[in-house]
Amino acid sequence: MVAQAVNYWLTEHPTIVNFRWSPTQSYASTWSFLFTAVSSYVIAAVTLHLLLAILPIRSRRGLSLGPIPALHSLTMAFISAVIFVGILFSAAAEIRDTRWLWRRTRTTALQWFLCFPVGTRASGRVFFWSYAFYLSRFLHLFRTFFSVIRRRKLSFFQLINQSSLLCISFLWLEFSQSFQVVAILLTTVSYAVVYGYRFWTAIGLRGACFPFVVNCQAVLLGCLTVCHVGVLYIHLVKRGGCNGIGAWLFNSVLNAVISLLYLKFYVKTRSLTTAKPT
């Protein structure tokens, strides 16, 4: 009974099955909304940083936010876990329902995960959870404001990273882009672990003896890079190519920029860790 109920609410509910990405039916689904949201986020973060910079010297250590960051981390860990399970079950349901069609095009499940057939529309179970992932990106933006308020520090990498990931998740839906299923699976499981760890340490429990979050993010970027190579290979080999490959190329450029910035940050973090006396 429990398994059937979970399966219904995650894959067979009419809202999920009949989902369709459309400017008239989906909230936050227009280009104007995306541009307004990204610019508002950047302006608000920079403004907050400048306002805190002119506070008296005694407040230089930043302000306390109490339990808010811990509650945010717990919420994000839960949402990420739900999206992971939802899109995993929905992908299994889509594979079950369309396997007969794949035999004609000689498409395997692995190929479908990385490469949607040309002509795919942003509707149905998988795209419902992709939409949920897109909306959850707005909640991730609060991490920037937490950092500014608590540490009085605004990271250029954080601004670029959060803005780029919001745009990428929008493009996944707008162009029914290939690769998004595996990308969401990898990203949400990583977020569930990272935010769970942040909640763990925020409530005062002992953290890892190494930069846990940094290493998790490095593993995620490595896995996504391998999958990007897989998409390119399938697109070149498969007859007809992959759907939304133009958006995928744009996303690949953004991912490359994020990876380079993160690699620089990762090397810096590792060097500081090694430099500490034992």
Rounded to whole angstroms, how far apart are CA atoms 278 and 273?
Answer: 10
Q: How many CA atoms lie within 13 A of 73 on its CB side?
A: 19
C-alpha angle 162-92-101 in degrees, rounded to nearest 5:
110
pLDDT for 278 equals 42
Rounded to whole angstroms, how far apart are CA atoms 196 and 21?
Answer: 30
**DSSP, res 209:** S
The amino acid that residue 153 corresponds to is K
Phi-psi category of residue 28: left, alpha or beta, with phi > 0 → left and psi -120 to 50 → alpha: left
Query: DSSP alpha helices (H): ranges in the chain?
Result: 2-7, 14-17, 31-53, 68-105, 109-114, 125-140, 142-151, 156-174, 180-202, 212-237, 245-275
Nearest Cα residue to 8 out of 95, 125, 112: 125
User: For residue 122, what are its two tokens?
Assistant: 């942003």
Task: Give me the number of domains the chain comprises.
Answer: 1
**Residue 28 is inside which H or E element, if any?**
none
Alpha-carbon dihedral sign for residues 229, 231, 233, 235 = negative
Q: Is 123 helix (H, G, I), strand (E, B) or coil?
A: strand
CA 18 to chain centre: 23
Tell me the pLDDT of the chain (278 aa) as tens digits.
Answer: 778 888 899 999 999 999 999 988 899 999 999 999 999 999 999 999 988 888 765 555 567 788 999 999 999 999 999 999 999 999 999 888 876 566 666 677 788 889 888 888 999 999 999 999 999 999 999 999 999 988 777 888 889 889 999 999 999 999 999 999 999 999 999 999 999 999 999 988 887 777 788 888 888 988 998 898 899 999 988 777 889 999 999 888 888 888 887 777 777 766 655 555 44
The amino acid that residue 150 corresponds to is R
pLDDT for 65 equals 85
pLDDT for 155 equals 82
**DSSP, res 124:** S
What is the pTM for the complete model shown?
0.91
Is residue 60 within 8 Å of residue 181, measured between CB atoms?
A: no
Give the domain range for residue 71: 2-275
pLDDT for 274 equals 58
pLDDT for 58 equals 54
